[in-house]
Amino acid sequence: MPGRAVLEVDGKVVRAGKKVYLMLNKPRGIVTSAADEKRRATVYSLLAEDLPWVAPVGRLDKASEGLLLMTNDSEWAARIADPEEGLSKAYHVQIGAVAGPELLEKIRRGVRQARGEMLRVKEVSVVRSGLKNSWIEIVLDEGKNRQIRRIMDAFGIEVLRLIRIAIGQVELGDLAKGQWRELTSEEVAVLRERDSHASTVTSARA
């Protein structure tokens, strides 16, 4: 076709592979990498063998759980992971403390690290509380390494569980732990848009 290049290998036309967009409910204890030098289980052990190669969009550390996006569309992934896009990410966090108004206000004000780095949250609220611990919801619009854990550590508070429940307007919902599904075309499209007016997700439950 005029104006379009055709790639051939050994006389056969090579066609572009299908773009794949997945969400995975990552369990705790699984690492977000293709291979691990310590031979720990990776997120790839949870995927079907006949899937095209996909890469994680961002990361969840070994101890964290919840929504992980995976794709073979590198441009789409780069935009979602770009901190300049300000795409919000919501987490349910179980902490070893009762989350009263004073603690919530400290979290809202943020934490300045020893080297001057400022760690902030976009929003924080209580999901539910017990006598000794609480579930809080934290929304971030920046992606600094271990950000929530470092904030809690600055206040001497233990993080018992950390579950990502949403990225932008795409929610983990009732997807079972360790399971994956393809994103809908609507979910793929909405993540292509800048998340300039996303609100806190409160419908998902840890």
- Run of H or E residues at 149: helix 147-154
Query: How far apart (Å, rounded) are the C-alpha atoms in residues 71 and 85?
Result: 18
Query: How far apart (Å, rounded) are the C-alpha atoms in residues 173 and 80?
Result: 20
Region for 120 from its dihedrals, namely left if φ exceeds 0, alpha if ψ lies in -120 to 50, beta otherwise: beta
The closest of 150, 91, 88, 90 to 119, measured between CA atoms, is: 150
Handedness of CA 150, 152, 157, 160 (dihedral sign): negative
Annotation marks residue 73 as catalytic: no
Say which of 61, 73, 153, 174 is annotated catalytic.
61
Catalytic residues: 61
